[in-house]
Amino acid sequence: MAKVLRGEIEAELGGEKRTLRLGIGDLEDIEDRLKVGLLELIQMLAQGRYRIGHLREIMTTALRAAGWKGTDDDVRDMIRASGPGECQVICVRLFNVALGNEDKGFDGDEDEAGNAPAPAVKENPPKESTQKTSRSGAISKSAAA
């Protein structure tokens, strides 16, 4: 059984129920290997602008983090059998759980094109900055605390 508090979900892949897991280290590894930030990757998935290689990397990392011992070719076969659309749903669910949200899939929240909403990512609001002009006309910025 999947442990949501550990970033785990269960999903059917290639006709078998499997456990997938993404912890913080796994998320960092995915960012490094795909050369894209997590928020951008989530947006790409939600908007349907992903590559099959993105799905493969996310799913391979998540399966191995849950203890699976298969190969990259095995993951390709799972994606082929399940279809990229279903794998996209699984990846969105994985990110939701890994980021501390409930185990959510699409559940009717798709846009008109059928794309999933991006998982809620908690961001720190930008600090407001104030500009001051000195008598010499130089501008200095200071961040409001």
Q: For residue 108, what pLDDT is reported?
A: 43
Look at the chain and count its residues. Answer: 145
Decide if 88 contacts 48 (C-beta within 8 A): yes
Q: For residue 25, what pLDDT is reported?
A: 94
Closest C-alpha to 116, from 52, 7, 57, 42: 42
Q: For residue 101, what pLDDT is reported?
A: 80
- In angstroms, the CA 90 to CA 140 distance is 48
Closest C-alpha to 2, from 90, 89, 66, 87: 66
Handedness of CA 37, 39, 44, 45 (dihedral sign): positive
- In angstroms, the CA 71 to CA 79 distance is 13
Q: What is the mean pLDDT of each run of 10 residues along the chain (145 residues)?
A: 71 95 95 96 94 97 96 96 96 92 53 48 52 56 50
- In angstroms, the CA 138 to CA 131 distance is 10
- Tokens standing for residue 137: 């006309």
Handedness of CA 1, 81, 113, 47 (dihedral sign): positive
Q: How far is CA 20 from CA 57, 72, 112, 138, 143, in A?
A: 12, 15, 29, 55, 42
